[in-house]
Amino acid sequence: MFNFIVEYKWIILLVFEFLAWVATLSMFYARYKMRSQIWFRLASLALVLTGVIPQVLLGVINFITTKEVDLFTLAIVLLIVYGLTIGKNQVKAIDCWAQKRFSSNSDDH
C-alpha cells in the first residue's frame, strides 16, 4: 500500500489540497450564508481531515519509504510552514471577503 501512495503522492497531495480548499470555502459559506453552526463544524472537521493530517502522513510515508528528504518531503514541509505563517493571513482575508460576499447577498435573495 505504501508503494501505491509513494507512486501517486503528487496526485494524492493535489486531491487533498483541493478538498481542503473546498472545505475552507464551505466553512465560510456555512458560517456567513447559511448561519449554521452544525454545517460550520462539519466543514471544519472536513478541513482538518483533508488539510494538515494527510499532508503530514504523506510526508512521513514518503520519508519512511524513500529514506531521504526529496522534493516531495520539502514541498510538504513548505506547505505546512506556509499554512502556519502566510496562509493564516490569507485565510483571514478570505474570511473577510466571505463575510462581505455572503452577508450582503443574503439580504438580496
Give the tens place of pLDDT for each residue, 71-98. Answer: 999 999 998 899 889 988 988 998 899 8
Which pLDDT value is given to residue 20? 93
In the chain, what is the greatest distance between 2 CA atoms, to the nearest angstrom? Answer: 57
Q: What is the pTM of this model?
A: 0.81
Look up cell 489540497; give the residue: 17
Distance separating alpha carbons of residues 48 and 109, to the nearest angstrom? 32
Distance separating alpha carbons of residues 61 and 18, to the nearest angstrom? 20
Look up cell 460576499; give the residue: 101
Grid cell digits, residue 22: 473546498
Which pLDDT value is given to residue 63? 93
User: At 62, is the secondary structure helix, strand, or coil?
Assistant: helix
